[in-house]
């Protein structure tokens, strides 16, 4: 027996019996364990060693080509009542779901090793943190969980003391897309995932626990589990504001979280520190503010587009102790992806000689896994048990037209409406068509574990006596001109928008009111040192296209109507208010 917790011991025994695993390994999180599993992965070919001189302790993993992204059509929320999951989720009755997936798990680990990974989402000593145990037959998953969570003995100690945990059962199965399911049982705090080894489908602490199960728990317990980065922005006076921002998958969270401000800002004393890049758990503190932690301990970031000029902090952390998944490699065995530099890769992500006629060297959703502490701007505050107080919440999406660069909500309820009505172009982070505009409220479309209407109602409950809530904003870095070029330079220049946001929070800058909300006065917006971008250009990014917005709001109304009577009246009131201002 490797635990004093009977519930855990019994569950592990039962899984061994059911899956017929050959061998059970209880993960401790030790360095020796890491090395042993690395060696095993090298032996099986699941890891390939990268250039030890340029990239010490870095490995390449190439997935099955049919298993490279989240599979939303195979992801289910399984609750007693169908109504509870809403039109935003696929539903299956728990009894049916268990039967279906248990059948797949039956005997699936014969001849395989089963790893038991106790993990803690959030700092080990934080009351906001929550623990889980993932059982998996994938050593690759173990090595990713090692970087992405606080796993091993410390987590097990906390689980044994608390007596409860989220159960996550995972097997790569046959990696057959027709024998694949990602199932969540929020009422049982249980996850079962079969047939995929890819990130969000397989690292169960991340989207499955921290967002789908987490959002369900957060609703019942009075907190928020969100698909948000958290950054600290220190101004030249030395005050730090924490900003949480929700953008859909592959829409810029990692980049913004570790942004290095433009030269002039750095000289003036502005500084950005990183708390998290994907998930934020926050709850009201005694002072009425929302206090947030990053439940993760690492970054599972998009590789393509990561370069010296876009995200130098990411490059600085990626030359060591990193797992690369589905990238290409150069002749001298260095990881390579589109946008990195002008080298020509030798091998593509399928392990074939690189041929630009065939496709990109790196899969568009290729990823790096690296510990947060490798990030040069990683903030020691990320380890705070209490979390950090949030001054501003930002919602965003990828929209090539219509949506302005930045807008501030008039109130909390208006901000909740803004979040609820975000639409964004789909990306390679999930299987399916790319570039299709779809509604993605609060960037949670694939991740909210219950009915969206109840989720918006939950958001609205935070506005109560004694609350000291963050200001809410929307942004869009992705407007394009008639030549299909991005109109806003983005990346480090997004600092200019962050400056406006914190100045609004501390009442240091003006704004003008529009139908959509408050927007920067073009003359006041800091464009110092930004070559090739004029006030006219800025004006274009801040214009409200009245007719375009009338159509957008008609779509939005139809979308909200799709959630039926559970949609809070307050959202319709805010929507009507915008409509009347547009007329
Ligand atoms: P997930 O990990 O899937 O949740 O994605 P993410 O939201 O963290 O997105 P990430 O920061 O990895 O960016 C995704 C893609 O968008 C990358 O290819 C980036 O280079 C690109 N990107 C990020 N920020 C900007 C920006 O400000 N402007 C433009 N044009 N592209 C950006
Ligand atoms: C996302 O898709 O939002 C990611 C990657 O952050 S995954 O782990 O697959 O969810
Ligand atoms: Mn994400």
DSSP state letters, 178-215: GG-EEEEEGGGTEEEEES--SHHHH-TIIIIIIIIIHH
Which tokens in the block code for residue 484? Answer: 């299909």
The rounded mean pLDDT for the chain is 98
Rounded Cα distance between 313 and 257, Å, is: 10
State whether the beta carbon of 469 lies less than 6 angstroms from ligand 1: no
What would the pLDDT profile of 31-82 be if each residue is shown by its tens digit? 999 999 999 999 999 999 999 999 999 999 999 999 999 999 999 999 999 9
The pLDDT value recorded for residue 498 is: 98
Which tokens in the block code for residue 390? Answer: 């949030």
Q: Where are the domains of the chain?
A: 6-46+74-222, 226-296+380-582
What would the pLDDT profile of 248-296 be if each residue is shown by its tens digit? 999 999 999 999 999 999 999 999 999 999 999 999 999 999 999 999 9
**What's the average model confidence in pLDDT over 416-436?**
96
**Which residue, among 378, 375, 411, has the nearest Cα to 393 in the 3D structure?**
411
Q: Answer whether 389's CB lies under 8 Å from 101's CB.
A: no
Residue 1 has pLDDT above 60, yes or no: no
Q: State the pairing for strand pair 367-371/323-325.
A: antiparallel
Q: Is 27 annotated as catalytic?
A: no
DSSP SS3 for 234: strand
- Topology annotation, domain 226-296+380-582: Phosphoenolpyruvate Carboxykinase; domain 3 (3.90.228)
**What's the average model confidence in pLDDT over 209-219?**
98
Cα separations in angstroms, 393 against 258, 294, 396: 17, 15, 10
Q: Whose CA is nearest to atom 11 of ligand 1?
A: 252
The pLDDT value recorded for residue 460 is: 98
State whether the beta carbon of 250 lies less than 6 angstroms from ligand 1: yes
Nearest ligand atom owner, CA of 276: 1
From its phi and psi, is residue 402 left (phi > 0), alpha (psi between -120 and 50) or beta?
A: left
Q: Which of the listed CATH numbers 3.40.449.10, 3.40.50.300, 1.10.10.10, 3.40.720.10 matches domain 6-46+74-222?
A: 3.40.449.10
Cα separations in angstroms, 564 against 88, 205, 475, 557, 576: 12, 32, 28, 11, 17
What would the pLDDT profile of 528-539 be if each residue is shown by its tens digit? 999 999 999 999
Protein residues whose CB sits closer than 6 Å to any atom of ligand 2: 70, 199-200, 206-207, 249, 278, 300, 429
Residue 126 has pLDDT above 80, yes or no: yes
CA of 17 to the centre of ligand 1 (A): 43
DSSP 262: P
What would the pLDDT profile of 344-367 be if each residue is shown by its tens digit? 999 999 999 999 999 999 999 999
Q: Which atom of ligand 1 is nearest to the CA of 257?
A: 11
Rounded Cα distance between 526 and 328, Å, is: 39
From its phi and psi, is residue 136 left (phi > 0), alpha (psi between -120 and 50) or beta?
A: beta
Rounded Cα distance between 123 and 150, Å, is: 8
The pLDDT value recorded for residue 118 is: 98
**What's the average model confidence in pLDDT over 101-110?**
98
The pLDDT value recorded for residue 501 is: 98
Residue appearing with tokens 């948000």: 228
The pLDDT value recorded for residue 35 is: 98
Catalytic option among 131, 251, 280, 375: 251
């Amino acid at each position: 027996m490797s635990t004093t917790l009977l519930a855990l011991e019994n569950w592990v025994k039962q899984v061994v019996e059911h899956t017929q695993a050959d061998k059970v390994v209880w993960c401790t999180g030790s360095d020796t364990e890491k090395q042993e599993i690395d060696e095993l992965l090298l032996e099986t070919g699941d890891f390939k060693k990268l250039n030890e001189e340029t990239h010490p302790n870095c490995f390449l993993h190439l997935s099955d080509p049919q298993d490279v992204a989240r599979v939303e059509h195979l992801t289910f929320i399984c609750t007693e009542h169908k109504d509870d999951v809403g039109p935003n989720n696929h539903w299956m009755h728990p009894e049916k779901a268990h039967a279906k997936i248990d059948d797949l798990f039956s005997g699936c680990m014969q001849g395989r090793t089963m790893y038991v990974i106790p993990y803690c989402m959030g700092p080990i000593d934080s009351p906001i943190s929550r623990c889980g145990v993932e059982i998996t037959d994938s050593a690759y998953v173990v090595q990713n969980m090692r970087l992405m969570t606080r796993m091993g003995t410390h987590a097990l100690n906390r689980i044994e003391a608390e007596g409860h945990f989220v159960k996550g059962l995972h097997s790569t199965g046959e990696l057959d897309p027709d024998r694949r399911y990602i199932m969540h049982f929020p009422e049982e705090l249980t996850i079962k995932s079969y047939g995929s080894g890819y990130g969000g489908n397989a690292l169960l602490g991340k989207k499955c626990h921290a967002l789908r199960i987490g959002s369900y728990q957060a609703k019942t317990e009075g907190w928020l589990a969100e698909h948000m980065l958290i950054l600290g922005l220190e101004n030249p006076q030395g005050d730090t504001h924490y900003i949480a921002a929700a953008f859909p998958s592959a829409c810029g969270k990692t980049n913004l979280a570790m942004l290095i401000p433009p030269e002039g800002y750095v000289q003036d004393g502005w500084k950005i520190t990183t708390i998290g890049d994907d998930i934020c758990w926050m709850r009201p503190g005694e002072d009425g503010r929302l206090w947030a932690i990053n439940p993760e301990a690492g970054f599972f970031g998009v590789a393509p587009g990561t370069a010296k000029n876009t995200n130098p902090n990411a490059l600085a952390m990626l030359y060591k102790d990193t797992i690369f998944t589905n990238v290409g490699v150069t002749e001298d065995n260095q990881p390579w992806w589109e946008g990195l530099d002008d080298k020509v890769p030798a091998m593509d992500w399928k392990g074939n000689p690189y041929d630009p006629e065939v496709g990109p060297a790196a899969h568009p959703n290729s990823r790096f896994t690296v510990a947060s502490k490798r990030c040069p701007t990683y903030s020691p505050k990320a380890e705070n048990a209490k979390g950090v107080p949030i001054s501003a919440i930002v919602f965003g999406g990828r929209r090539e037209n219509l949506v302005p660069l930045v807008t501030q909500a008039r109130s909390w309820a208006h901000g909740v409406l803004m979040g609820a009505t975000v639409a964004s172009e789909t990306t390679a982070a999930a299987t399916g068509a790319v570039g299709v505009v779809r509604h993605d409220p609060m960037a949670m479309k694939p991740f909210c574990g219950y009915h969206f209407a109840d989720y918006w109602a939950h958001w609205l409950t935070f506005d109560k006596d004694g609350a000291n809530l963050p200001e809410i904003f929307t942004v869009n870095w992705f407007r394009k001109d008639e030549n299909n070029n991005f109109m806003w330079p983005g990346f480090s220049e997004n600092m200019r928008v962050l400056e406006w946001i914190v100045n609004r929070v501390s009442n240091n800058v003006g704004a003008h009111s529009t139908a959509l909300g408050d927007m920067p006065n073009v003359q006041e917006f800091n464009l110092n040192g930004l070559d090739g971008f004029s006030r006219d250009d800025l004006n274009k990014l801040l214009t409200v296209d009245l007719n375009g917005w009338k159509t957008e709001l008609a779509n939005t109304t139809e979308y909200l109507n799709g959630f039926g009577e559970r949609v809070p009246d307050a959202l319709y009131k805010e929507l009507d208010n915008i409509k009347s201002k547009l007329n």
